[in-house]
Amino acid sequence: MAVDEREIVAFARRYDPQLFHVDPEAAERSAFGGLVASGWHTTAMMMRMLVDHFLSPASSLGSPGVDEIRWLLPVRPGDVLSLRATVAEARPSRRRPDRGTVHARVETVNQDGRVVMTVNLMFLARRREAGAQPGA
Amino acid sequence: MAVDEREIVAFARRYDPQLFHVDPEAAERSAFGGLVASGWHTTAMMMRMLVDHFLSPASSLGSPGVDEIRWLLPVRPGDVLSLRATVAEARPSRRRPDRGTVHARVETVNQDGRVVMTVNLMFLARRREAGAQPGA
């Protein structure tokens, strides 16, 4: 997913209007040395990639929360992000056996192969009926 | 901060296009019983309120991460959100004594006084020089 300067600025004007996210000149003089995406913009882009490539529309029931986010490296205009998602745990609900909670470790990686963000995210998901075959 | 249906849909079309965030009719038939904001939209709105009312532009150096997010209740069109932010810990950096890390517990509350989301967020902040007076 390509990171666009106009989108960095538009997102941050609305949701995170700190100078290093909205003002390229001020950002040059900041500790970041240039414009960087809001960390919340990076989580939002991660979510888009998860919805497109990882979550099933048939089973996704939303998310109860996140156990950790680490913003490790700046995300800059022109970066191209991709994901590595690993399921750490998938546990049936005790009260609602038709659903369960999936714990996923998601690494967001830039075009140089460097991990810019890690997120440990939970999802609620519908379960197949016990004994059902994949695709049934 | 007022939650607008068009903004819920616009945010989610770009970043979290699950049916219960982008399609009011499909959302009615979902477990949510109506359109709900993406949790990432709620974190983004929280950030805007933190930037407007909590973070100092003179000292904010960005955030290394989040230790926990819990999406407790749905956020719906017409809700009005506000924050309660509590500093849990503020610790000088060992390597860079001119800065430190602040751990804040942020509760996002709706118009009924119910907590819809909790976030444990870290901030990097510049420190006043040792011995400097407030406002000096």
Task: Answer yes or no: are the C-beta atoms of A55 and A123 closer than 8 Å.
Answer: yes
CB contact under 8 A, A15 and B61: no
The Cα–Cα gap between A25 and A70 comes to 26
* Average pLDDT value over all residues in chain B: 93
Residue given tokens 């369960």 in the structure block: A100
CATH fold label, B5-126: Thiol Ester Dehydrase; Chain A (3.10.129)
Residues recorded for chain B: 136
Q: Is A91 exposed, middle or buried (0-12, 13-18, 19+ CB in 10 A)?
A: exposed
How many angstroms separate the CA of residue A13 from the nearest CA in chain B? 9
CA atoms within 13 A on the CB side of B114: 9
Lowest average pLDDT, out of A75-89, B41-55, B118-132, goes to B118-132
User: Which residues 54-73 on chain B approach chain A with CB closer than 8 angstroms?
Assistant: 55, 57, 60-71
The confidence score (pLDDT) of residue A133 equals 56
B4-36 pLDDT, tens per residue? 999 999 999 999 999 999 999 999 999 899 999
Q: pLDDT-derived band of residue A79, with 50, 70 and 90 as boundaries?
A: very high
Q: pLDDT-derived band of residue A121, with 50, 70 and 90 as boundaries?
A: very high
A10-67 pLDDT, tens per residue? 999 999 999 999 999 999 999 899 999 999 999 999 999 999 999 988 888 899 999 9
DSSP, residue by residue, B85-96: EEEEEEEE-SS-
ipTM of the complex: 0.92
The confidence score (pLDDT) of residue B60 equals 86
* B27 membership: H or E segment, kind and range: helix B24-29
CB contact under 8 A, B44 and A14: yes
Q: Which two three-digit tokens encode residue A133?
A: 């075959």
CB contact under 8 A, A17 and B48: yes
Angle between helix axes A39-53 and B39-53 (nearest 10 degrees) is 180
DSSP SS3 for A81: coil
Amino acid, single-letter form, for residue B89: E
Residues in chain A closer than 8 A to B55 (CB atoms): 18
* A10 membership: H or E segment, kind and range: helix A5-15
Q: Which two three-digit tokens encode residue A20?
A: 């290093």
Q: pLDDT-derived band of residue A136, with 50, 70 and 90 as boundaries?
A: very low
